[in-house]
C-alpha cells in the first residue's frame, strides 16, 4: 500500500467564497464546500433563475444574484469561483479584478484561447490576485502518487504517455444539431465548446504533467461539426523532442473511456480511472503491481489549496503558467486539425 501524499492544510481563517454559474459543475463544488469549516458560501450568481434557486436551496445560500457585479460589490468575497461557459470566463475574471477579490478559481478550460488567458494573467498579476485553473484531479492523492512514482524512477526515463477521455455524447450532439438545442455549452463552438475544450484539456494536462516538459510540435485529426463549429472527436500527437511522445484521443461520439498510461525505459504505469476519483480508495498499476491510495474530495482540496496560497503566499499546486502551457497546446491542436499539418509551439505561444 502506498501512502497518500500530504495535501493537508494549516489552520486557516474563514474564507468567503462566491460562485458565478450554477450549472452542473457548481454542485460538485458546493458538495465539497459544505463539508469544509474554513469555507463560507456568501453568494451565488446565475442568469437562469431555476439553476440559481436550485443551488441556493441545496447549499443554503442566502444571497443570490442575477448580476455578477452586484454580488461582488455587496458580498465582497475573498474568492470567486467561475463556473460559467468558457466564452464568459474573461469578462467574469475582469469583473472580479475590478471588485478586488483575493483569488479566482476558473473552471476548465480557463479561457477560449491563449490570447484571452494572457489578458487574464496580465490583469490579475497587476492586481496581485491569485488566479488558478480548476483541474480538480491534480489535487487528488492518486495523481500526486503517480507523479511521485515517476519521479522516483519506478519506470525509468519517461519516453511515452497516452491519455483518453470520451463520454458518449454523440447522440446528444446530433440531437443538438437537429433541434438547435441552445443549452449545452460543450456542443457550441460560440460558447467555447468541443471535445478538446471539455475532455482533451484533461488529456493534454496529464501528459504534460507526467512528462514534465512542453511539446515542440503537435499534429491532430478528427471529426469536425461545421454547423456547431466544434470538434466532436480529436486525436492528437505531442512531440516533446528527444524521442519523447504523447498521444491523446477525446470524443463526444465514442463510448465512455478514461485512462492514461506512461511508458519508460524500465517499465510502465497505468491508471484506469483517470479523472473522477473522490474520497473512495483509488488504484494505479506500476510494472504489474497495484498500488492503492486513500482518497479525498478533490474539489475541496483545490479550494483549500487556493486559500492557502492567498493566506501564505505559497504557490498553488497548479501555477498559472501550467494553464498557459495547456491552452497553447489546445490552440495548436485545433490549428493542426484544421490545417491538416503539424504545428510548432514556442515559448512565447503558438
pLDDT digit string, tens, across residues 116-159: 999 999 999 999 999 999 999 999 999 999 999 999 999 999 99
Tell me, what's the pLDDT at 300?
98
Average pLDDT score, the chain: 92
Q: What is the DSSP letter of 87?
A: G
Backbone angles phi, psi at 208, to 5 degrees: -60, -40
Cell of 171: 447522440
CATH annotation of 15-135: 3.40.50.720
Please report, for the chain, the start and end positions of each structural domain, with discontinuous segments joined by +.
15-135, 141-295+319-344
Distance CA 234, CA 330 (A): 11
Cell of 279: 474520497
Asked whether 216 and 227 are in contact (CB, 8 A), the reply is no
Distance CA 39, CA 19 (A): 12
CATH annotation of 141-295+319-344: 3.30.360.10
Tell me, what's the pLDDT at 30?
98
With 80 as the cut, is the pLDDT of residue 72 above it? yes
Residue with grid cell 475574471, as numbered in its chain = 93
Same fold? 15-135, 141-295+319-344: no
Q: Rounded to 10 degrees, what is the CA torsion of 16, 22, 27, 29?
A: -40
pLDDT digit string, tens, across residues 243-291: 999 999 999 989 999 999 999 999 999 999 999 999 999 999 999 999 9
Distance CA 147, CA 303 (A): 21
Confidence of residue 10 (pLDDT cuts 50, 70, 90): low
First-residue to last-residue Cα distance in the chain: 42
Instruction: Give just the sign of the alpha carbon dihedral 272, 273, 275, 281.
Output: negative
Backbone angles phi, psi at 104, to 5 degrees: -135, 125
Cell of 294: 486513500
Q: Rounded to 10 degrees, what is the CA torsion of 257, 262, 263, 267?
A: -110
Amino acid at each position: 500500500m502506498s501512502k497518500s501524499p500530504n495535501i493537508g492544510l494549516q489552520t486557516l481563517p474563514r474564507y468567503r467564497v462566491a460562485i458565478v454559474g450554477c450549472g452542473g459543475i457548481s454542485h460538485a463544488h458546493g458538495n465539497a464546500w459544505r463539508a469544509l469549516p474554513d469555507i463560507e458560501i456568501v453568494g451565488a450568481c446565475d442568469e437562469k433563475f431555476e439553476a440559481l434557486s436550485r443551488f441556493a436551496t441545496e447549499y443554503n445560500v442566502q444571497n443570490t444574484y442575477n448580476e455578477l457585479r452586484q454580488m461582488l460589490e455587496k458580498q465582497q468575497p475573498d474568492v470567486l469561483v467561475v463556473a460559467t461557459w468558457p466564452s464568459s470566463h474573461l469578462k467574469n475574471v475582469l469583473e472580479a479584478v475590478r471588485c478586488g477579490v483575493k483569488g479566482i478559481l476558473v473552471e476548465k478550460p480557463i479561457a477560449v484561447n491563449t490570447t484571452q488567458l494572457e489578458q487574464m494573467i496580465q490583469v490579475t498579476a497587476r492586481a496581485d490576485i491569485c488566479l488558478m485553473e480548476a483541474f480538480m484531479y491534480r489535487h487528488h492523492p492518486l495523481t500526486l502518487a503517480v507523479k511521485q512514482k515517476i519521479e522516483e524512477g519506478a519506470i525509468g526515463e519517461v519516453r511515452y504517455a497516452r491519455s483518453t477521455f470520451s463520454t458518449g455524447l454523440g447522440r446528444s450532439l446530433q440531437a443538438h444539431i437537429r433541434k438547435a438545442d441552445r443549452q449545452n455549452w460543450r456542443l457550441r463552438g460560440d460558447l467555447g465548446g468541443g471535445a478538446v475544450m471539455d475532455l482533451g484539456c484533461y488529456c493534454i494536462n496529464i501528459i504534460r504533467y507526467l512528462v514534465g516538459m512542453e511539446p515542440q510540435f503537435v499534429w491532430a485529426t478528427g471529426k469536425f461539426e461545421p454547423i456547431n463549429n466544434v470538434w466532436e472527436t480529436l486525436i492528437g500527437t505531442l512531440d516533446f523532442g528527444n524521442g519523447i511522445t504523447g498521444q491523446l484521443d477525446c470524443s463526444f461520439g465514442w463510448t465512455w473511456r478514461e485512462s492514461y498510461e506512461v511508458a519508460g525505459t524500465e517499465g510502465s504505469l497505468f491508471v484506469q480511472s483517470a479523472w473522477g476519483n473522490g474520497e473512495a480508495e483509488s488504484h494505479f498499476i506500476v510494472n504489474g503491481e497495484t498500488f492503492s491510495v486513500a482518497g479525498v474530495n478533490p474539489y475541496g482540496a483545490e479550494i483549500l489549496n487556493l486559500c492557502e496560497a492567498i493566506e501564505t503566499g505559497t504557490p498553488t499546486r497548479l501555477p498559472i503558467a501550467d494553464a498557459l502551457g495547456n491552452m497553447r497546446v489546445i490552440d495548436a491542436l485545433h490549428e493542426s486539425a484544421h490545417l491538416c499539418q503539424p504545428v510548432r509551439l514556442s515559448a512565447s505561444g503558438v
